[in-house]
Structure 1
Amino acid sequence: MNLIHVIILAIIEGLTEFLPVSSTGHMIIASSAMGIANDPFVKLFTIAIQLGAILSVIVLYYKRFFRSVNFYIKLIVAFIPAAIFGLLLAKRIDALLESALTVGITLFVGGIILLFVDKWFNNPRVEKEEQISLPTALKIGFFQCIAMIPGVSRSAATIVGGMSQKLSRTAAAEFSFFLAVPTMFAATAKKLYDFYKEGHKFTGEEIKLLAVGNVIAFIVAMLAIKTFITFLEKKGFRLFGFYRILVGGIIIVIYLTGHNLEVI
């Protein structure tokens, strides 16, 4: 893995982590295309640079993180389902992460769903995070579990989950951002633990690459979040739906024409 790979993957992470298009799916495809997907450090890198994206949420919404204890209780309640299912299904999830075809299918199907989301959930009653109840937070947490399938998109699953519970598009998107903080931090910590448990150690160069990747992911994610909220308020999800259908369809066609898209 070199600096060019780092820049490309970090930009992809920053752009897609909070958009309903699946950052994991995009990085699986990108790392496969660059021929570096087999490297254990690359697999760790694609998870670890989420820390930069997490920091962008904390910086942009720092006032929310110092407002009340109830805010953190909601995040914990919403995080619990993913924590439980993540531990129980860890091996199966890792296997799915190695399939580009899975990404193609879930991107395509998810894109079709996004075409209709704005019509399905067009009568919101919850406009602010403070109005979200604990049962609602838990339900959104279960929606997040669907995103353990690569290509689904954690952002898409939690935003759609929020809208199904009468949250406005903006309220659902912002709660999705907040929920990303404990979820992505836990995923990164787990990946780091597994990396060391398997006997791997960071070289000085790898530490530098991780630092650069996180800085780039942070900057790009800051811009992406601001742009996404503005776009979402005005246009909704249809454009993201068309994008997912296009990308997913291309991946599926490539696979069906006999090309091997498997990472391993």
Structure 2
Amino acid sequence: MTVIDSIILGIVEGLTEYLPVSSTGHLIVTEYLLGLDNPANKAALDAFSVCIQGGAILAVLLLYFGRVKGMLEGFAGKNPAGLRLGCNLLLAFVPAVGIGLAFDDEIKEYLFGVWPVVWAWVVGGLVILLYVRWRNSTGQGNAGKGLDEMSYGQALLVGFMQCIAMWPGTSRSLMTMLGGMVAGLSVAAAVEFSFLLGLVTLGAATAYDAMKHGALMVETFGLWPLAMGSLMAFVSAMIAVKWMVGYLQKHSLSIFGWYRIAAGCVLAALVFTGMGQSHDAGDKTPGKVPAGKAAPVAPQAPASPLTVNAVPAPVPAMVPSPAPVAP
């Protein structure tokens, strides 16, 4: 991985982490197109993709510092509303802990590929369009309960919706936003709760992967790419979050639905036409796209007849050599 690669991955992470388009899906595709999807470095690359989330987490922490401060005061017994919000976030986080710890390795092994992302992008886009259409038909629009009115049951529903996003390409932001709106929150409250829940969920995932594969990641890629990727994720996440909050005050989620469908179709076309070949022909991991041709085999120089397989020539006195056979 070059520094340029890490900068590109950081920008992709920051721009897509909090938008309902799936940062994991975009990172998988970006790594695929950059030629970084080498199974030999899979564990280190997966850890890198998770750890640069730290920059995106810091961006939301600064943007919503007032909410975070209120929750800390709540846990200290000084802010009842902050305490309720903090408890709701922890409750919504619980389902992801259980399912994530139980199936983390299997998810990364079998679902971290291009085709699972294609399907998730397209299906997720259709879900957005259908939900927006249904919500508008009921006359709800962007209306709903505020964040301070959120119940524990609503928080738990959002938590279970978040677990669906463990399928790469689905989008944690999408599922938590939809979960909040389905639970009765306003669009603004659902978006804010999704961002705040990301602090807990993404923070835990980053810490877990750093402890599990951090040493391998640093040994494989070095600290400089990690630092640059995290920095770019921070800057781009600040821009993306501010833009999205302003955009959803006047518009629906429909644009993200159309984007997901278009991106999924384009990616599928690239793979079908061979423009996005897998960079490891021998990788048979389910979900990976086969390259369609065997990996080249390096030519070998002909071996000396005296040293074939490094076996010494037979001793004539003990084992007579057979007479040559005429062709």
* TM exceeding 0.5: yes
- The TM-score normalised by the length of structure 2 is 0.75
- State the 1:193 CA deviation: 2.4
Aligned to 1:32: 32
Q: 1:15 corresponds to which residue?
A: 15
Query: Following TM superposition, by how much is the alpha carbon of 1:100 offset from its aligned partner in structure 2, in angstroms?
Result: 0.5
Q: What residue is the counterpart of 1:103 in the other structure?
A: 117
Deviations 1:14-33 (A, max 9, x none): 10000000000000000111
Contact conserved, 1:143 with 1:161, CA < 8 A, in 2? yes
1:208-223, aligned counterparts within 5 Å?
208-223=224-239
Q: Relative to structure 1, is the Cα distance of residues 242 and 224 closer, same or farther in structure 2, using a 3 angstrom cutoff?
A: same
5+ residue gaps, structure 2, are: 71-81, 279-287, 291-327
2:21–2:256 CA contact under 8 A, matched in 1: yes
Task: Work out whether residues 48 and 217 of structure 2, in 8 Å CA contact, stay in contact via their aligned partners in 1.
Answer: no
Q: Which whole-Å deviations, capped at 9, do the CAs of 1:172-225 have from their partners, x for residues lacking one?
A: 1110000001101111122122215xx726249722221221111111101100
Q: What whole-Å deviation, never above 9, does each CA across 1:237-264 have from its counterpart, x for those lacking one? A: 1111111001111222334456655278
Post-superposition offset of 1:51: 0.9
1:194 to 190, 212, 217: 212
Contact 2:8 2:229 in 1 (8 A): no
Q: Percent identity?
A: 39
Aligned partners of 1:98 and 1:263 also within 8 Å = no
Q: Distance in 2 between matches of 1:201 and 1:46?
A: 10
8 A Cα contact 1:19 1:228, kept in partner: yes
Q: 1:184 aligns with which of 181, 202, 205?
A: 202
Asked if 1:92 is matched to 2:106, the reply is: yes
Contact 1:32 1:263 in 2 (8 A): no
Cα deviation digits, residues 151-176 of structure 1 (max 9, x gap): 00000011011110111111111100
Q: Is structure 2 residue 131 aligned with structure 1 residue 117?
A: yes
Question: Which one scores higher on RCO, CA 8 angstroms, separation ≥ 6?
Answer: 1
What letter is aligned with 2:47?
L
Instruction: Choose which of 244, 253, 269 in structure 2 pairs with 1:228.
Output: 244
Measured in 2, the distance between the counterparts of 1:27 and 1:59 equals: 24
Match of 1:45 among 42, 45, 48: 48
CA distance in 2, matches of 1:109, 1:11: 25
User: 2:184 — aligned with what?
Assistant: 166
Alpha-carbon distance between aligned partners in 2 of 1:171 and 1:115, rounded to the nearest angstrom = 20
> Per the alignment, do residues 251 and 226 of structure 1 end up closer, same or farther by CA in structure 2, a change over 3 Å counting?
same
Stretches of structure 1 that go unaligned for 5 or more consecutive residues are none
Q: Is the 8 A contact 2:116 2:169 kept in 1?
A: yes
Contact 1:103–1:151 under 8 Å retained in 2: yes
Q: 55-64 or 248-257, which moves further after superposition?
A: 248-257
Report the 3-state secondary structure (helix = DSSP H, G, I; strand = E; otherwise coil) of the residue aligned with 1:200: helix
Indicate if the aligned counterparts of 2:147 and 2:189 stay in contact, CA closer than 8 A. yes
Where does residue 155 of structure 1 map in the other structure? 173
- The TM-score with structure 1 as length reference comes to 0.92
Q: Which residue number in structure 2 is paired with residue 249 of structure 1? A: 265
Superposed CA offset, 1:85-140 (max 9, x none): 11121222112443100000110111111112223234266442111111100100
TM superposition shift of 1:69: 2.2
What amino acid is the match of 2:106?
Answer: R
- Paired with 1:103 and 1:172, the residues of 2 have a C-alpha distance of 24
Rate the CA distance shift 1:117–1:233 in 2: closer, same or farther, 3 A: farther
Higher helix share: 1
- Within the candidate set 244, 249, 253, 1:237 is matched to 253
How many residues align? The count is 262
SS at 2:19's partner residue? coil
